[in-house]
Structure 1
Amino acid sequence: MRLRAVAAELPSREVGNADVVDLIAEHSADTFTGDLDALLRRVDVYLRHTGSRTRRWLDAGERPVDLLRAAARTALRRAGLEPGQVDLLVYTGVGRGFLEPAGAYHAAAALGADRAHCFDLLDACMSWTRAVQVVESLFLAGHHRTALVVNAEFSMRPGGAVVPGAFRLPAAKALASTFAACTLGEAATATVLTADDGEPWRFSFRSRPDLAPLCNVTLDNYRDFCDPTGKEARNGVGVFTSFGLEMHARGREEALAALAALDVPPERVDALFTHASSSSYWQGMADEAGLGPVVHHVYPRTGNVVSASVPTAMASGIEAGLLKPGQRAVGWVGSAGMSFGAFTFVL
């Protein structure tokens, strides 16, 4: 499989850490019990510790489908392809407007990809990585030749899965399940992949289903589809709930093990692209794995863009000349589920 092109589009509204702190102050003023000012100072310290500076959110009049369309057109143009040449379109990630049909059909219609077979793939922040692995398997089976993987991670609009629910805190202890929301950004990406007889991509995954309660966006009837632990909807049904600090702490060894299983010598890696949940966290793990000098972070300027994290970083790195044809890249992701994955390919 060959990566022909990858593009990312960010919305225009730039949101700084101070803006997020102000949101918490606004939405928690009537509900918080305790010293709200002390909590707000702690949020600011935590954000700076993760490496956060800014993120982008939709501004008035902007729509996810328009940014998705722009990313896809850019990627296809860079690949020298027309929409009608795409024979497989996969919509992936958490942000979506449809439970039925697959969002891939609406994306294909918006792009004019009239020949494309369509389906969605959802696996939280691991979604894009899983989709790429599935696409390669379909290529190897001879079912498709040209694929477009797209996502539109936009959850920060008022009334969405994050705002204002995850910013309305009743007490300081609620920060454990809400802080991850403070790091979120928005983005749309498009990745063009084609069948190729060159070196196959290699993937490594590890799963910890016992940690599934740590990060959820629930539906009304979620209790009938799991054995509830009390964590799944801590911030309310339908509201993003994530015990991010615990996830990072408990996932560290699993993530390192997934990377080690690739068995790629650090000196052979030209660029490392990680999940954008915290640049300080991933830099520390990259240093431990001997890949610190080649990691490319987008988190400080984009925030956590969920399943768009790795393709956004790849698009940024390629545009900056950090990864060139013939060079080896490694991708590295930790996700709700929990799952941990790493992959490698030559551009």
Structure 2
Amino acid sequence: MMIRSVILGTGSALPVRRVSNAELAETVDTTDEWIVERTGIRFRHIAGPDETTATLAADACKAALGAAGKSAQDVDLIVLATATPDQTFPSSATKVQAMLGIDDCVAFDVAAVCSGFLYALQVADSMIRAGAHKCALVIGAETFSRILDWEDRTTCVLFGDGAGAVLLEAQDSADSDGRGVLATKLHADGRHNELLYVDGGPSTTGTVGKVRMKGREVFRHAVTNLASVMGESLALAGFTPDQVDWVVPHQANARILDATARKLGLAPGKVVVTVDQHANTSAASVPLALDTAVRDGRIQPGQLIVLEAMGGGFTWGASVIRF
């Protein structure tokens, strides 16, 4: 018998304002055709003044709790992945905790940018497997619009805001291939800081800073690293790519999704794609895409799914889950 972290429910939240490429082109020197051809993005959601990383995260958590049939009082752990917290401190996870009406539970943020949700999932899964916690909310939430340079057309068209969450519960399993998180593999390589970063921070400039990226180099690393880590995680779990029902990738760029699938020999129809509707929502993109595919009926209980992401740092990872 072993303890397994099983996903009981998923949830997501998007800002009210939905911005098309055409609307963006009214203020940014770009076109709908240019953005679609290079990225596959058609829309993104932009947070309003009253919408923050924490408020979006809390709404996603409420949806996940509702899907799982659980109360917020059942939760004893909150791990929130974000690169855009409401405040430098305290953590946005503690703000979510208060918004959900939870008086006491372990709550903290994880920073791994676009890979953040995978890092948060591994942390929560490890704490559950160790027996320290029984019910966890794992969240990816971002308001990347707050750190975009809206005069840099190479980056500002790529990102959007949103949040996604899953509710994990500790369950005893006698089956090595039973439901739950089966294997996760994470990586980081800080030598590539200058390829994707924010040019500010409390300890350096005393400012929030803006996103800077060398897109061509990031693309090259992404395809290689994502295909590699998906293969690693599947091997760790004892599966091959042809056994996967769905891949839920970080939604950065449609061309990265296509190239990664081809490298692994996966059929495009097995890849969940939401980048056209949400753009790149950083740590929120994987749980947002997961919730979309669960709620529209594509992902069913018992199916084998792989989550994968790469972000600034570089950080990257993949997780194999029996849903």
TM-score (norm 1): 0.82
What is the CA–CA distance in structure 2 between the aligned matches of 1:320 and 1:144, rounded to whole Å? 30
Residues 61 and 115 from structure 1, CA distance in 2 versus in 1: closer, same or farther, beyond 3 angstroms? closer
1:95–1:151 Cα contact (<8 Å) kept: no
Question: Residue 247 of structure 2: which of 266, 272, 281 is its match?
Answer: 272
What is the CA–CA distance in structure 1 between the aligned matches of 2:311 and 2:302, rounded to whole Å? 29
The DSSP-based 3-state class of the residue aligned with 1:330 is: strand
**Where does residue 161 of structure 1 map in the other structure?**
147
Question: Residue 184 of structure 2: which of 199, 203, 224 is its match?
Answer: 203
Residues 44 and 179 from structure 1, CA distance in 2 versus in 1: closer, same or farther, beyond 3 angstroms? farther
Q: How many residues align?
A: 307
Question: Residue 195 of structure 2: which of 214, 221, 227 is its match?
Answer: 214
Alignment of 1:1-347 (within 5 A): 1-25=5-29, 40=30, 44-59=33-48, 61-156=50-145, 160-162=146-148, 166-169=149-152, 179-198=154-173, 199=178, 200-217=181-198, 218-219=200-201, 221-222=203-204, 238-262=209-233, 263=235, 264-291=239-266, 292-347=268-323
- What are structure 1's unaligned runs of at least 5 residues? 26-39, 170-177, 225-235
Deviation, 1:60, is 6.0
What is the CA–CA distance in structure 2 between the aligned matches of 1:280 and 1:294, rounded to whole Å? 15
Deviation, 1:115, is 3.0
2:35–2:157 Cα contact (<8 Å) kept: no
The code of the aligned residue for 1:83 comes to A
The DSSP-based 3-state class of the residue aligned with 1:322 is: coil
What is the CA–CA distance in structure 1 between the aligned matches of 2:252 and 2:115, rounded to whole Å? 12
TM-score (norm 2): 0.88
Moved more, 269-278 or 287-296: 287-296
Q: Deviations over 1:15-44 (max 9, x none)?
A: 11122233324xxxxxxxxxxxxxx35x85
1:21–1:44 Cα contact (<8 Å) kept: no
Deviation, 1:326, is 0.8
Deviation, 1:48, is 2.8
The code of the aligned residue for 2:147 comes to A
Moved more, 75-84 or 254-263: 254-263
The code of the aligned residue for 1:9 comes to A
Deviation, 1:68, is 2.7
The code of the aligned residue for 2:186 comes to F
Residues 244 and 113 from structure 1, CA distance in 2 versus in 1: closer, same or farther, beyond 3 angstroms? farther
Aligned-residue CA RMSD (Å): 2.1
The code of the aligned residue for 2:41 comes to S
**Where does residue 227 of structure 1 map in the other structure?**
none
Q: Deviations over 1:45-82 (max 9, x none)?
A: 24432111111112465454443332211111111111
Residues 105 and 44 from structure 1, CA distance in 2 versus in 1: closer, same or farther, beyond 3 angstroms? same
1:50–1:279 Cα contact (<8 Å) kept: yes
1:2–1:193 Cα contact (<8 Å) kept: yes
The DSSP-based 3-state class of the residue aligned with 1:147 is: strand
Higher share of residues assigned strand: 2
2:76–2:106 Cα contact (<8 Å) kept: yes
What is the CA–CA distance in structure 2 between the aligned matches of 1:282 and 1:254, rounded to whole Å? 12
2:53–2:92 Cα contact (<8 Å) kept: no
Deviation, 1:340, is 2.0
